[in-house]
Homo-oligomer: A and B are copies of this chain.
Amino acid sequence: LAEAGKEVHFLLHSDYDFVAQHGLRVDSVRGDFHLKHPSIYKTTADMPLCDVVLVCLKTTHNELLKELLPPLIHKDTLVVLIQNGLGIESDLADTFPNLSIAGGLAFICSGKVGEGHIVHSDLGKISIGGYGFSSSPELEAVCADMVQSGIPADISPDLMLMRWRKLVWNIPFNGMTVVLNTTTDKLMSCPQTHELSYQLMLEVVAGANACGVALTVDFAQKMMAMTEKMTPYSPSMKLDFDYNRPLEIEYIYTRPLLEASRRGCDMPRISMLEKQLRFLTVR
């Protein structure tokens, strides 16, 4: 967005001093670029009011939002949570009852490889959807800005379906690569973990259906076929674990389990995986 000339204000943390001096470098499969003087801040208190806030935090830090957001929001601000998991929007709405909230699902392989240095190695689509509304001028404008900036973006009319769809992949592979200390390709090439991955996906489908979301078994089969073709891959939770960062267990596992359980749907394998992950993080 910034490279395309949109007005973007970045909140930085540990990289602030480096980026102030050297700018922000992005090595992308869509073309490398370098922002020499991005508009950066150490705290949201110093930032202007914003029409759109793109929240790209790990959900493990979402409790910071109640302090980060107030300096940024005016009455029409749209906050887009580009994060994985379930229940993120409802938690934010509990804190800010009048806020316009959207969710964003990023289908991208990218990561920070050094100070002020991001590598974008594959994919890049983003889907956004309103929380409690299917469309709004602000939501259309965000999507249009992204598309104009060369980002493949679309608006989904069903945010919850999008969130559950992404869980179909995230629930088996984030957790299993951590618990079994491995990569997706090895899980797929062992007949037992291949079957278990599919069983976990089917539990996600059952949970979604219990919550009134029209996810289908067909979609799980597509995710299996897609994963079979992937090169060896370490999901974000595996990287977080390897680098001793907190894991996004709450919104990827605990909340879906809770939502399904409230509707009488038991997901025993997902529940077991969640407990194994909880154990590994209290080490």
Residues of chain A whose beta carbon lies under 8 Å from any beta carbon of chain B: 179-180, 182, 186-187, 190, 192-193, 195-196, 199, 268-269, 272-276, 278-280, 282
Q: In the complex, A269 Cα to B267 Cα: how many Å? A: 10
A282 touches B190 (CB 8 A): yes
Q: Which chain B residue shows the least CB distance to A179?
A: B179
Shortest distance from the beta carbon of A180 to any chain B beta carbon, whole Å: 6
Interface centre among A180, A196, A272, A282 (most CB of B within 10 A): A272
Given that A269-B268, A269-B269, A272-B269 are known contacts, is A278 also in contact with B192, CB under 8 Å in the complex?
yes
Shortest distance from the beta carbon of A175 to any chain B beta carbon, whole Å: 11
Dominant secondary structure at the A interface: helix
Residues of B within 8 A of A276 (CB): 179-180, 192-193, 196
Shortest distance from the beta carbon of A153 to any chain B beta carbon, whole Å: 37
Q: Which chain B residue shows the least CB distance to A196?
A: B275
Q: In the complex, A279 Cα to B191 Cα: how many Å? A: 8
Shortest distance from the beta carbon of A198 to any chain B beta carbon, whole Å: 11
Shortest distance from the beta carbon of A195 to any chain B beta carbon, whole Å: 7
Residues of B within 8 A of A278 (CB): 190, 192-193
B282 touches A196 (CB 8 A): no
Given that A180-B179, A180-B280 are known contacts, is A192 also in contact with B275, CB under 8 Å in the complex?
yes
Residues of B within 8 A of A199 (CB): 268, 272
Residues of B within 8 A of A180 (CB): 179, 276, 279-280
A190 touches B269 (CB 8 A): no
Which listed residue, B195, B275, B282, touches A275 by the CB 8 Å rule? B195
List 11 A-B pairs, Cβ < 8 Å.
A179-B180, A182-B279, A192-B276, A192-B279, A193-B275, A193-B279, A196-B276, A199-B268, A268-B268, A268-B269, A268-B272
Q: In the complex, A280 Cα to B190 Cα: how many Å? A: 10
Q: In the complex, A272 Cα to B196 Cα: how many Å? A: 7
Shortest distance from the beta carbon of A99 to any chain B beta carbon, whole Å: 33
Q: Give 8 A-B pairs besides A179-B180, A268-B272, A269-B269 with Cβ atoms closer than 8 angstroms.
A: A180-B276, A180-B280, A192-B278, A193-B275, A196-B276, A199-B268, A269-B272, A272-B272
Shortest distance from the beta carbon of A181 to any chain B beta carbon, whole Å: 9
Shortest distance from the beta carbon of A197 to any chain B beta carbon, whole Å: 9
Q: Which chain B residue shows the least CB distance to A278?
A: B192
Interface centre among A195, A273, A279, A280 (most CB of B within 10 A): A279
Which listed residue, B187, B269, B272, B282, touches A279 by the CB 8 Å rule? B187
Q: Which chain B residue shows the least CB distance to A282?
A: B190
